[in-house]
Structure 1
Amino acid sequence: MAPASSAVDQAATLLKERIRELESELSKLQRALANLTDGRQGRRGPGRPRGSTSGATRRRRRRRGGTRADQAVKLIKQNPGITASEVARKMSIQPNYLYRVLGDLQKEGRVKKSGRSYTAT
């Protein structure tokens, strides 16, 4: 009965070795997936619409240098009471974009709006 026992032992050893290889490959694949997806899993919760993951909240893109905001504040300091459309015209940008910039500046407390005009604080 020794030959059958050694064959079983040999097969078990081969299977254990293969399992170790597959576990190693699994961990490598999981690390690669985590690097590709920034650690979040691609699954949604039950009943959630597309685009909503069950992971952490979406990260918003941080403002870079804020050069447009700084330019707007500089113009408002030079011309107190200037309107947003006048600032946009002087900066050669679309007023719709500037309204968003000015809203952020108001939240930060760098400018104050009174009526249609803006003043630096």
Structure 2
Amino acid sequence: MTAKRPTEPRRQVYLLQRKPAPLGKGLGKTTGWVHRAALKDAQVELIGGATYDRIDDAGLHITVRGKDGQPQSRLLEVDTVVICAGQESVRDLVRDDDAARHVIGGADVAAELDAKRAIAQATELAATV
């Protein structure tokens, strides 16, 4: 058996969701732990209970509940934002000539919505940006 060799990530990645439940809680018991372990190994910061306030040149502005239960504003200084939201295919924000926008997860194909597929699409896209 070989030991894991942690590698320094090329960039900081955040995975956020609106509901306060632990991220990936709805994944299957046999695969959920694998995905969570992979995210931990990649040093992805998981943030639950986020409210998305705005995106501007400074990054993504969010509000989260602190340990004291009070809302706290936070700025994620990011240059790329991947939004995977909703359970209906909505393409209103995407133009055919806009290579900077990618549609994945339920926004791409809401039929047979599958969190595992959406996470895989987001991971693959994140690796290319």
* TM-score normalised according to structure 1 size: 0.23
Higher helix share: 1
Q: Which has the higher strand share?
A: 2
